[in-house]
Amino acid sequence: MFQNSCLSVSPDASDAACLGALRVGLIGTGVVGSGTCQVLQRNAELIAQRAGRPIRLVMATARNLHKAAQVVGPGVALVSDPWVLVRHPGIDVVVEVMGGVGLAKDLVLEAIAQGKHVVTANKALLAEHGAEIFAAADACGVVVAYEAAVAVSIPIIKALREGLAANRIHELVGIVNGTSNFILTKMQDEGLSFAAAVRLATELGYAEADPSFDVEGIDAAHKTALLAANAFGADVPFARVHAQGITALDPWDMVCAEALGYRIKLLGIARQCADAIEVRVHPTLVPQAHWLAQVQGSMNGIWVSADAAGPTFHYGAGAGSQTTASAVVADLIDVARCGAAGDAGRAALRVPHRSVQPAALRRWPVMPIGQVTSRHYLRFELGGHPALEAEWPSWLQAHGVELQHMAQVTHPEQAHRKAWVGLTASMRGDDLTRALASLSEQTGGPAAAAVLRVEDLA
Ligand code: HSE
């Protein structure tokens, strides 16, 4: 019932229309897969001019083949078994946009073993299993391209590995999860509830199949790990990456942060320290005037500080169908220029998967979050403790916490509710936790109602 003008599913058939073309097999025809089909069709001529040869979608696999047929259009073979696709000799490059780390990993490794290049948007797969997958690709002389895995419409992987290749990267700070930034924006600017904002992000196709990956900071941690690997030429063990999302964030803190001149954003932070790296994701106060504070809705923004280029700021859509397809197709164009898969000579000339040659990859220890030094935001609700209301800054000082900026904020809708907020001097997270515990123990007053980190990004 499916048209198959370009490629037969029988292993040795070929078609004159495909001669010289880069032949693509697509795994997954959902939000990203459909955008990829649209871009490949709409811009076919331009893409061929840039790639030096046509790029043809010849086969696709999806759970629902009827729906997939609508997505890929005529002339594309549809198979229900993805193993047929990854083993088919008539395919040069596999585009994996199904997601997940189980079957997707097995299929990607099989495609590599079959000598096929891979283009993927799967950040979880590469953050968690990148070392194995990239090693397999290097051994087989194929490329695993993943621009679409991070901040979709921003070519940040290319920027780090090529445009900024001359630089030592000091730090990289980004809003890399469109869904959580969309939720925070809707809560702050339109007063939407968390649950309503999550629903809307899901309806708009921004959220992961399981939105807890977005709101728990895991998706951002996957992306930050990939960015850190490229920025520092490092093998970053994902298990060491700190991930804290926005589920426990109280909208009241957005109001209080604003009173101090800050906005709260879910940031992915990768920083090179003397003998370790920081790789962490958590809600963070950023100055209102900084570019990162201006990134709204599902947009992403990434601030990179490099020794020769200085600071650069990269901005663009962070989620969506054609926005992600833009990165997938750009990777296909790169792959089309690579020549035949398995060509070891050409493979050696390609940009390495994590920006440095595999033998040069560093294994920096990832600093535990408690040892990370930064300024912190504190909120106390001291109503009912008049002594503490007057004394809290000096109590904190006596416990080793220096406050640099303080305010008292009245809740916009509950006039009886007041918060005492302040920003500390730079200190280790562990030291602050200890000081706050001992303060609460000695005074009998309430513990800090909120503690968040601050990035001033000077
Ligand atoms: N759920 C992801 C996000 C999609 O919101 O950023 C793009 O990776």
Alpha-carbon distance of 326 to 154, in angstroms, equals 9
3-state secondary structure at position 238: helix
Of 1.10.10.410, 3.40.50.720, 3.40.50.1000, 2.70.98.40, which CATH number belongs to 11-155+322-360?
A: 3.40.50.720
Among 179, 218, 222, 246, which residue has the most ligand 1 atoms within 8 Å of its CB, making it the best to mutate?
Answer: 179
Lowest mean pLDDT among 174-183, 277-286, 288-297, 434-443: 434-443
For β-strands 373-380 and 418-424, DSSP reports them as: antiparallel
Q: Tally Cβ neighbours within 10 Å of residue 197.
A: 21
CATH number listed for the domain at residues 369-454: 3.30.70.260
Residue nearest to atom 7 of ligand 1 (CA): 319
Give the list of residues 6+ apart from residue 179 with CB closer than 8 angstroms, or none: 198, 201, 206, 207, 208, 211, 214, 215, 219, 298, 319
pLDDT of 95 over the 90 cut: yes
pTM of the model: 0.94
pLDDT of 155 over the 70 cut: yes
Residue nearest to atom 8 of ligand 1 (CA): 319
State CA 447 to chain mean position distance.
33
Q: Which residues of 406-415 are buried (b: 16+ CB within 10 A; e: fewer)?
A: eeebeeeeee
Is domain 156-316 in CATH 3.30.465.10, yes or no? no
Per-residue model confidence as pLDDT tens digits over 58-67: 999 999 999 9
CATH 3.30.70.260 region(s) of the chain? Answer: 369-454
Q: Average pLDDT over the chain, rounded to whole?
A: 92
Per-residue model confidence as pLDDT tens digits over 242-272: 999 999 999 999 999 999 999 999 999 999 9
For β-strands 144-145 and 310-317, DSSP reports them as: unpaired
Name beta bridge partners: 79: 61
Going from the Cα of 343 to the center of ligand 1, the distance in angstroms, rounded, reads: 34
Atom of ligand 1 nearest to the CA of 123: 8
Which amino acid is it at 138? Answer: D
Directed axis angle between helix 65-72 and helix 31-42, to 10°? Answer: 30
Residue nearest to atom 4 of ligand 1 (CA): 319
The catalytic site residues sit at 223
What is the mean predicted confidence (pLDDT) over 394-421?
Answer: 90
**Share above pLDDT 90 across residues of the chain, in percent, rounded to a whole number:** 84
Going from the Cα of 205 to the center of ligand 1, the distance in angstroms, rounded, reads: 9
403: its two tokens: 């406050």
Going from the Cα of 127 to the center of ligand 1, the distance in angstroms, rounded, reads: 15
Going from the Cα of 201 to the center of ligand 1, the distance in angstroms, rounded, reads: 10
Q: Which of 279, 215, 284, 275 is nearest to 245 (CA)?
A: 215
For β-strands 277-287 and 242-243, DSSP reports them as: parallel
CATH 3.40.50.720 region(s) of the chain? Answer: 11-155+322-360
Question: What are the φ and ψ backbone dihedral angles of 431, each rounded to 5 degrees?
Answer: -65, -40
Going from the Cα of 37 to the center of ligand 1, the distance in angstroms, rounded, reads: 19
Among 125, 198, 206, which residue has the most ligand 1 atoms within 8 Å of its CB, making it the best to mutate?
Answer: 206
Alpha-carbon distance of 184 to 178, in angstroms, equals 10
Which amino acid is it at 31? Answer: V
Alpha-carbon distance of 271 to 141, in angstroms, equals 31
Alpha-carbon distance of 67 to 232, in angstroms, equals 42
Alpha-carbon distance of 139 to 136, in angstroms, equals 5
DSSP H or E stretch at residue 272: strand 262-272
CB 77 within 8 A of CB 5: no
Per-residue model confidence as pLDDT tens digits over 192-225: 999 999 999 999 999 999 999 999 999 999 999 9
Q: State the distance between the two ends of the chain, measured CA to CA, in whole angstroms.
A: 61
pLDDT of 227 over the 80 cut: yes
Percent helix / strand / coil, the chain, rounded to 5: 40, 25, 35
CB 176 within 8 A of CB 302: yes
Q: Ligand 1: list residues with CB < 6 Å.
A: 152, 177-179, 206-208, 214, 219, 318-319
